[in-house]
């Protein structure tokens, strides 16, 4: 997508605005499938919590992907988008047995991540094909917010509990068809990934009726210039080879599954916000935009660096800015960032706004959630309207008392 296209979309649909480039999602999908083309049975399940607009789900379905979901509501959205239940995986954590049973009844593949629920589910439904989520205790990335494989993590069944896990499966005679791991976002090093994969293979040997191995996700995409990214091609080469030899040892052709979220949609997304005010203080120049952590929380929540460009005046003299929002709390998008000289009314474009941006938006400060546009074949399609005042009142029930009754 070109900056002039984005600028035109901001004019047409207003700001703040999310824009997603369909072609980029497709090219990331192709890159991943190509990297693993040596694996006979490959399946990509899009982790929809990254970006859950139904039109985006439909687009990704057309590419041939399945879905990875973490709540019954995501399952319902996936079914609504037209996915077959067999193409949906359900990988929740900390949900009730009732919700798992409800999702199972829809024909969706369930994935269980703790021994308590596993024992209860296996006792009640020994014939249902179940996948189990293992925690290999691998630290991936340095940020504890996003590294879920380490020892204190709440995710998955610890590999140290393997004897107990095997006992439950033997006692209940339940049907384990898959082993899963997801070591968290931002795997910097493919050696770490391959190390965790070995642990998964070891666990897999204990189960005789497997149909698939699910390696989760955690692929890192670049957020700024010269950022580290997962070398998918290299990982594809090494892991495919290892996976194929494992299948020979196991005596059966298994399906290899990945659940990328960020990898598919992060770089396809652009967030456009308008500069309301340029404010000079004694220490910095603030550029205040018509948004905040209500629409775009990643910089504040994770300290993630999203590249910012002044697409209204891209060729001006560069100056240092603190880009902040309009929320009545500290909501700094970027500190001390070099940006082409900003004038009030300019449109700033934030990169890597496809994953965990709109899907984490809220109505804090009673602001409306932004509109979303899908850019396809050189055209912008509105796929979610900007909220209105009615949306803020929806579900609120006026109290039917008057001042005199208080």
Contact assessment for residue 149 and residue 183, using Cβ atoms and an 8 Å cutoff: yes
Q: How far is the CB of 243 from ligand PLP (least distance, A)?
A: 18
Binding residues for ligand PLP restricted to 249-268, rule: CB under 6 A: 259-263
Element of type H or E holding 243: helix 232-250
What span, in angstroms and rounded, lies between the C-alpha atoms of 258 and 379? Answer: 31
Window 345-384: contact mask with ligand PLP (x via CB under 6 A): ----------x-----------------------------
162 touches ligand PLP (CB under 6 A): no
Q: Please, which residues have CB within 8 angstroms of residue 380's CB and are 6 or more apart in sequence?
A: 5, 8, 9, 12, 13, 19, 373, 374
User: Residues touching ligand PLP: how many (CB under 6 A)?
Assistant: 18
The strand pairing partners of 348, in sequence order, are 273, 310
Tokens of 164: 């107990």
Q: How many residues does the chain have?
A: 406
Closest CA to 335 of 286, 290, 396: 286
216 touches ligand PLP (CB under 6 A): yes
232 touches ligand PLP (CB under 6 A): no
Tokens of 29: 């999908």
Known catalytic membership, residue 349: no
Report helix, strand or coil for 12: helix
What span, in angstroms and rounded, lies between the C-alpha atoms of 336 and 283? Answer: 10
> Judged by CB under 6 A, which stretch of 45-53, 158-166, 337-345, 364-372 contacts ligand PLP?
45-53
Window 49-68: contact mask with ligand PLP (x via CB under 6 A): xx-----------------x
Tokens of 165: 């896990």
Interface pick for ligand PLP out of 156, 218, 354, 370 (rule CB under 6 A): 218
Q: Which is nearer to ligand PLP, 6 or 148 (CB)?
A: 148
Q: Are strands 66-69 and 42-47 parallel, antiparallel or unpaired?
A: parallel
149 touches ligand PLP (CB under 6 A): no
43 touches ligand PLP (CB under 6 A): no
**Catalytically annotated residue among 131, 328, 349, 357:** 328
Q: Which is nearer to ligand PLP, 266 or 322 (CB)?
A: 266
Q: How far is the CB of 69 from ligand PLP (least distance, A)?
A: 9
Residue 177 neighbours by CB distance under 10 Å: 17
The binding site for ligand PLP (CB under 6 A) comprises 47, 49-50, 68, 70, 91, 182, 185, 216-219, 259-263, 355
Active site residues per annotation:
328
């Amino acid at each position: 997508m070109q900056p002039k296209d984005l600028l035109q979309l901001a004019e047409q649909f207003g700001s703040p605005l999310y824009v997603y480039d369909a072609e980029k999602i497709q090219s990331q999908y192709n890159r991943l499938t190509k990297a693993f083309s040596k694996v006979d049975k490959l399946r990509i399940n899009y982790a929809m919590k990254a970006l859950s607009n139904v039109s985006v789900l439909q687009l990704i379905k057309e590419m041939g992907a399945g879905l990875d979901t973490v709540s019954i509501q995501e399952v319902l959205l996936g079914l609504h988008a037209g996915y077959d239940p067999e193409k949906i995986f359900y990988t929740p954590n900390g949900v009730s047995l009732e919700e798992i049973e409800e999702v199972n009844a829809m024909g969706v593949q369930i994935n269980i991540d703790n021994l308590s629920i596993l024992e209860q589910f296996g006792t009640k439904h020994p014939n249902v094909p179940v996948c189990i989520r293992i925690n290999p205790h691998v630290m991936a990335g340095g940020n504890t917010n996003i590294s879920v494989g380490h020892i204190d993590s709440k995710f998955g069944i610890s590999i140290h509990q393997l004897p107990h896990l095997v006992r439950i499966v033997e006692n209940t005679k339940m049907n384990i068809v898959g082993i899963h791991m997801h070591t968290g976002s931002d795997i910097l090093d493919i050696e770490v990934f391959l190390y965790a994969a070995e642990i998964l293979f070891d666990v897999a040997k204990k189960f005789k009726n497997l149909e698939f191995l699910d390696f989760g996700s955690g692929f890192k995409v670049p957020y700024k210039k010269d950022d580290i990214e997962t070398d998918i091609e290299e990982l594809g080469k090494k892991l495919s080879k290892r996976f194929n030899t494992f299948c020979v040892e196991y005596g059966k052709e298994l399906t290899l599954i990945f659940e990328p979220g960020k990898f598919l949609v992060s770089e396809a997304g652009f967030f456009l916000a308008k500069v309301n005010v340029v404010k000079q203080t004694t220490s910095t120049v603030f550029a205040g935009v018509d948004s905040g952590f209500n629409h775009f929380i990643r910089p504040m929540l994770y300290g993630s660096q999203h590249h910012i460009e002044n697409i209204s005046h891209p060729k001006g003299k560069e100056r240092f800015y603190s880009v902040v929002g309009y929320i009545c709390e500290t909501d700094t998008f970027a500190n001390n960032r070099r940006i082409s000289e900003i004038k009030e009314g300019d449109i700033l474009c934030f990169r890597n706004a496809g994953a965990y941006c709109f899907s984490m938006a809220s109505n804090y400060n009673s602001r409306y959630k932004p509109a979303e546009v899908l850019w396809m074949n050189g055209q912008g399609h509105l796929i979610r309207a900007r909220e209105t005042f009615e949306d803020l009142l929806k579900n609120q029930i006026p109290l039917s008392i008057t001042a005199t009754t208080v």
